[in-house]
Structure 1
Amino acid sequence: MARDTTDDTPLTSVQELADYMADGSKPKDAFRIGTEHEKFAFFRADNSPVPYAGDASISALLKGMQAKLGWEPIMDRDNIIGLAEAHGQGAISIEPGGQFELSGAPVETLHDTCRESNQHLATLREVAEPMGIRFLGIGGSPQWTLAETPRMPKSRYDIMTRYMPKVGTKGLDMMYRTCTIQVNLDFSSEEDMRTKMRVSMKLQSIATALFASSPFTEGKPNGLLSWRGEIWRDTDNQRSGVLPFSLKDDFRFTDYVEWALDVPMYFVVRDGRYHDCTHVTFRQFMAGALKGEIAAFEPTMGDWTNHLSTLFPDVRLKRFLEMRGADGGPWRRICALPAFWVGLLYDDAALASADALTRDWTFEDVQAMRDTVPSQGLKAKVAGRDVSDVAREVVAMSHSGLKSRARLNGDGQDETVFLASVDEILAKNATLADDLLMLYHGRWKGSVQPVFEEYQY
């Protein structure tokens, strides 16, 4: 996330919190696609991580991108931590370990998404090349230990770093050693949100399986296909995972609010300073729990929107829906992941088909798939079926949905062209993680070092 929100509108009722999310509803012709992708920065000379400070550094990359783009710098104390386009059309941020992230503008088509990603990476290469910096597009840091991984000077990350070991065993790995591709999509009403939430929550592990690309840790195979997926199984489970109530036919905005109210907070921001609030829930905050601890102790809408950004379910609800299940990956995956979800969720027939396919899946079915996909990938099962077979059906639905959208580029191609890399995975029944392991045991001769050369941006 590039910037935490400042909105001093006072909160007076729980209903306001639900209304805030409901106000995100928009007509279908206003639906947009917002794609986010993270990548690991490394020095080409020795594949070492890039620190925050210095002439060749994360901060230097941000300043170089600012000079190229003219975007507004985002500061935390005296440190540049991101950039924001003046009209809200995109942002650049840094994750805790220096992972470099583009939060794309809300665009109309996947062709726009791909152009945006191309332009971002081209501009970033111009800035990074003189510093000897390149970027790695996979889901987990393949070489560096947690101690070797740099730490970014961002106040919210300081609070999270202290808190994570108290609530799980893998939270610091999540923060410092993983990358994702994510897409944010709209809904038209509470009913539309409910269907999209139910379908995408059930199918999120299908995306994890298809986009698995994190089979290495600290220089050797970790026994998994999606280490990132496994990490999320024990990262502050109060605020992450599959939400059982979201699978119900009567799920409402208020259900998400009631859950979110009882999740411990991370922080509140007052006068630019972050206050550690991990000892209270948002519900307790609304009841006055911070009175006497901070001067402006009454909650605001900015506090609520910031709190929503610290919740990590497999699908996150704000004023839009965030698909959070996929590992990071090479350039083609930046376009393929949003294509997969847009085809399923933005076409009524495809959405209805996906809903019917998963209708009888129980929470236990979904959870069992989520538990096994990180290690088994496409060989896992859900509700008695092979994940690979379900994935083929779902990708076919996505193809159909994208064809129906009929959004063409200048060459007359529709958006199904962006599913080509997913089609290849299914054709050979092997993910990028499988390919990486084959290379490690074959041509790479037991070394992960070649991944930096062969899968760099």
Structure 2
Amino acid sequence: MHVSGPSQVEEVEIGSRAQLVDYLASGVRERTDWRIGTEHEKFGFRTDDLRAPTFDGERGIEALLKGLTRFGWAPVEEHGRVIALSRDGASVSLEPAGQLELSGAPLETLHETCRETGTHLREVREVAEPMGLGFLGMGFQPKWRRDEMPWMPKGRYRIMREYMPKVGSLGLDMMTRTCTVQVNLDVGSEADMVKKFRVSLALQPIATALFADSPFTEGRPNGFLSYRSHIWTDTDADRTGLLDFVFDEGFGYERYVDYLLDVPMYFVYRDGEYIDASGQSFRDYMEGKLPARPGFRPTLKDWADHSTTAFPEVRLKKYLEMRGADSGPWNRICALPAFWVGLLYDDAALDAAWDLVRDFSIEEQHALRDGVPRRALKLPFRGGTALDLAREALKISAAGLKRRARLNAHGADESIFLEPLVEIVESGVTAAERKLELFEGAWGGSVDPVFREFAY
């Protein structure tokens, strides 16, 4: 989830639906300008008692953020409290329970992406260790109950916290106990967007399976391999899911605008304050009839903010966001963008990926989406399993990255970043299954060792 702060967009009043379509379409870029933006979240924990750090206090998240300013990060404040950082097109922000997120800068190559991630984790460790804090990449908080998680003092989260229980039973878990890694990728035209959207939606369950790493809830196995993915099925049906309409004939920017207009609002951000508009209609807002701001009409900035409150498996802003993966260790943070760049940024790979999924029925896509949280790669599919699909998708991605031929100083192309996924496919065993083996064996039925053995 990336629901950090208000969008950086002009305050232009919206006069028509066409403006919203134009806004989305304005993201189209020449291939030479395509970039890779990687985001990942991680759980903080106190090394002495493994509890999540609060916002306040000398071992709190705000103190950590302030500590990171020594590396040239500029603080971002809300009501005088540091709630985020920015530097060179990147930001560090907080999820609702203090999960720390790096939203990376738009970069040209995966080599740069991996360097950025490594630098960030090193800086965080340098500040966190003297504070007695550590960080862990997994899809779901393995130990603590929802009521044991802290809340960060952000106006946006207060509104969401009150609204979530009205529309699903697991929304507060999504907010406080999940972590993800995602990648944001560019499009070259409306037709290119449509093809990439369809391929990435159809293969999102395969990414979920490959990255499955959330098998524990409150210290015990939860029956899932990606419990984080399952949580989205009962968070808020109005703003989550697979978006079947993307596969309809004639799909394009206009249809996505109509979808977003039907997603109920959360808030309006004005003068540093979040105004509660939860459950209200953006269509009403465009007519000056929003109960939260009667007589006012929205700006493009309001639209950009609103677009961040839809949480489908793949999200369209001015670019596409792949949102299906559990967070994990450093090398899997680099593997996620590698997987999708290989599939989507090379024409031959995109064609091959589309050939792989083009005849999936909507029912089959839903069966994949609904089945992988429990079964991951072992989910039966068309006489084989999801593992067979993963193997094929990985082959296509590797070939795409090789053809991209972006080399590092040692002459290696970007396909090196797929190695952790190749290992998973060759063994057929996900990170979640490895942790379950350790839990039953060496860890003696305790999840506590995960904080030591898998911390960054």
Amino acid at match of 2:5: R
Distance in 1, Cα, partners of 2:134 & 2:295: 44
- Listed as ranges, the gaps of 5+ residues in structure 1 are none
Q: CA deviation at 1:386?
A: 1.2
Number of aligned residues: 453
CA drift at 1:295: 6.9
Residue type of the partner of 1:56? Answer: R
What's the counterpart of residue 84 of structure 2?
Answer: 82
Equivalents in 2 of 1:40, 1:54: separation in Å? 18
Q: After TM superposition, list the pairs within 5 Å mapping 1:176-195 onto structure 2.
A: 176-195=176-195
TM-superposed CA distance for 1:5, in Å, is 2.2
Report how far residue 290 of structure 1 moved: 2.2
Paired residues for 1:314-393 under 5 Å: 314-393=313-392
Letter in 1 for 2:242: V
Give CA-to-partner distance per residue, 1:326-377, whole Å, 9 cap, x none: 0000111010011000000000000000101111111111111111110011
Q: Work out the CA distance in 1 between the residues paired with 2:431 and 2:30.
A: 37
The reply on whether 1:299 has 2:313 as its aligned counterpart is no
The offset of 1:80, in angstroms, is 1.2
Matches of 1:264 and 1:2 in 2, distance apart?
18
Task: Tell me the C-alpha RMSD between the 2 structures.
Answer: 1.2
Q: Is the Cα–Cα contact under 8 Å of residues 38 and 184 in structure 2 kept in the other structure?
A: yes
Q: How far did residue 67 of structure 1 move?
A: 2.6
User: 2:285 aligns to what?
Assistant: 285
Aligned to 1:94: 94
Aligned to 2:270: 270
**Which letter maps to 1:368?**
A
8 Å CA contact 1:198, 1:248 repeated in 2: no
**For 2:50, which of 47, 50, 72 is the aligned residue?**
47
Q: Within 2, Cα distance between the matches of 1:197 and 1:382? A: 22
Q: Tell me the SS of whatever aligns to 2:41.
A: strand
TM-score by length of 2: 0.98
1:235 aligned partner, one-letter code: T
Equivalent AA in structure 2 for residue 169 of structure 1: S
1:390-401 correspondence to structure 2 within 5 Å: 390-401=389-400
Whole-angstrom CA distance in 1 between matches of 2:294 and 2:155: 19
- Supply the distance in 2 between the matched residues of 1:189 and 1:163 (Cα, whole angstroms): 36
1:296 CA displacement? 7.0
Q: CA deviation at 1:250?
A: 2.3
Name the stretch that deviates more: 381-390 or 184-193.
Answer: 381-390
1:58 aligns with 2:55: no
Match of 1:20 in 2: 23
Map Cα deviations across residues 398-429 of structure 1 (whole Å, 9 max, x no partner). 00000000010001101111000000001110
- Cα distance in 2 for partners of 1:134, 1:281 equals 41
Deviation per residue, 1:88-147 (Å, 9 max, x gap): x10000000110000000000000000000100111111111101110111110001111
Cα distance change, pair 296–351 in 1 and its aligned pair in 2 (3 A): same
Q: Match for residue 5 of structure 1?
A: 7
For the Cα contact (< 8 Å) 1:201–1:247, is it kept in 2? no
Given that 1:2 and 1:84 are in contact with CA atoms closer than 8 Å, whether structure 2 keeps it comes out as no
**C-alpha separation in 2, matches of 1:323 and 1:64:** 31
Task: State whether residues 139 and 228 of structure 2, in contact with CA within 8 Å, keep that contact through their aligned partners in structure 1.
Answer: yes
Instruction: Output the CA distance in 1 between the equivalents of 2:275 and 2:416.
Output: 47
Distance (whole Å) between structure 2 residues aligned to residue 299 and residue 3 of structure 1 = 17
Query: Post-superposition shift, 1:383?
Result: 4.6
Letter in 1 for 2:215: P
Please state whether the residue corresponding to 2:255 is helix, strand or coil.
helix
Normalised to the residue count of structure 1, the TM-score between the two structures is 0.97
Q: Does residue 73 of structure 1 match 2:75?
A: yes
Distance 2:380 2:78 in 1: 45
Deviation for aligned residue 1:184: 0.4
The farther-off stretch of 377-386 and 212-221 is 377-386
Percent of aligned pairs with the same residue? 53
**Residue type of the partner of 2:25?**
A
More displaced 10-residue stretch of structure 1: 339-348 or 42-51: 42-51
- Contact 1:2–1:74, Cα closer than 8 Å, also in 2: no
* Aligned counterpart, 1:126: 126
What SS does the corresponding residue of 2:96 show, helix, strand or coil?
Answer: coil
- Provide the secondary structure at the position in 1 that maps to 2:148: coil
Instruction: Evaluate the alpha carbon distance shift between residue 5 and residue 296 of structure 1 in structure 2; reply closer, same or farther with a 3 A threshold.
Output: farther
Distance (Å, rounded) in 2 between the aligned partners of 1:127 and 1:366: 44
User: 1: distance between equivalents of 2:249 and 2:453?
Assistant: 46
Task: For 1:456, give the aligned amino acid.
Answer: A
CA contact (8 A) 2:239 2:312 kept: yes
- The Cα of 1:47 is off from its aligned counterpart by 1.0
- 3-state SS of paired residue (2:11): coil
Look up the match of 2:212: 212
Amino acid at match of 2:279: H
Deviation string, structure 1 residues 43-75 (Cα, Å, up to 9, x no partner): 111211111001111000111112322x32221
Task: Provide structure 2 residue ranges, at least 5 long, that are not aligned to the other structure.
Answer: none
